[in-house]
Amino acid sequence: MANILIVFASDYGSTRKMAEALAEGVQSAGGTALVKEAEAATLDDLVAADGIALGSPVHMGGMDWRVKKFIDSHCSAAWMKNLLVGKAGAVFASGSGFGNGGGGVELTMLGMLTNLAELGLVILPLSKHLGGYAKAGLQWGPYGRAHNEDLSPKGLDDSQLEAARAHGANLARLAETLKNNKVFA
């Protein structure tokens, strides 16, 4: 059984909902999920996990400072000692954008993925065949858009969370597989 750590920041609840949907997906695949706010997650949480998901709201075109603080404070310590090499990694994000563009969601996700790659994690993409992809899919991970193009709020509905559940389930399966097979020499 894979232990999955899901670390997120959220001001208005959308990224939290996505984190919880990922956790449901993890559990549906037989894994256990520890969902933690970025400011509460620790190095010990990272070391105990077989797979790690980072989730952030898009803030000014990039990741939330609390997620970056977690990366700089705790992931860097793991990087120094190669503690997470060969585990599974995934990202997710929530945003709004003004107009019909992404408003920085790809940079947010790629920023987090860069850090996961530095740690030696095997990164999980979100494949377009998965349920929910049409509503909340991006190849880098699930994206929950919580506002309309004019920034009027709409929140996340269940169909948007489907991609997060699928990603969580796949992360649990990937983490379990990697746990039983050493990938890096």
Ligand X SMILES: Cc1cc2nc3c(=O)[nH]c(=O)nc-3n(C[C@H](O)[C@H](O)[C@H](O)COP(=O)(O)O)c2cc1C
Residue type, 89: G
Q: Is residue 14 involved in binding ligand X (CB under 6 A)?
A: yes
**What is the rounded distance in angstroms from the CA atom of residue 161 to the CA atom of residue 165?**
6
Q: Is residue 96 involved in binding ligand X (CB under 6 A)?
A: yes
Q: Is residue 57 involved in binding ligand X (CB under 6 A)?
A: yes
In whole angstroms, the minimum distance from the beta carbon of 64 to ligand X comes to 8
Six-digit token pair at 69?
């603080």
Among 94, 115, 160, 170, binds ligand X (CB under 6 A): 94
Among 46, 113, 130, 146, binds ligand X (CB under 6 A): 146
Q: Which residues are within 8 A (CB) of 113 and not within 5 positions of it... i.e. 6 or more apart?
A: 89, 91, 123, 140
Residue type, 169: A
Backbone angles phi, psi at 115, to 5 degrees: -65, -35
* Burial class for 108, CB neighbours closer than 10 Å (0-12, 13-18, 19+): buried
Among 5, 6, 7, 15, binds ligand X (CB under 6 A): 15
Closer residue to ligand X, CB minimum distance, 10 or 115: 10
Q: Is residue 160 involved in binding ligand X (CB under 6 A)?
A: no
Query: Using CB atoms, what's the residue nearest to ligand X?
Result: 103
Q: Is residue 11 involved in binding ligand X (CB under 6 A)?
A: yes
Q: Is residue 10 involved in binding ligand X (CB under 6 A)?
A: yes
CB-CB contact of 167 with 25 (8 Å):
yes
Note the residues at the interface with ligand X (CB under 6 A): 10-16, 57-61, 94-97, 103-105, 146-147
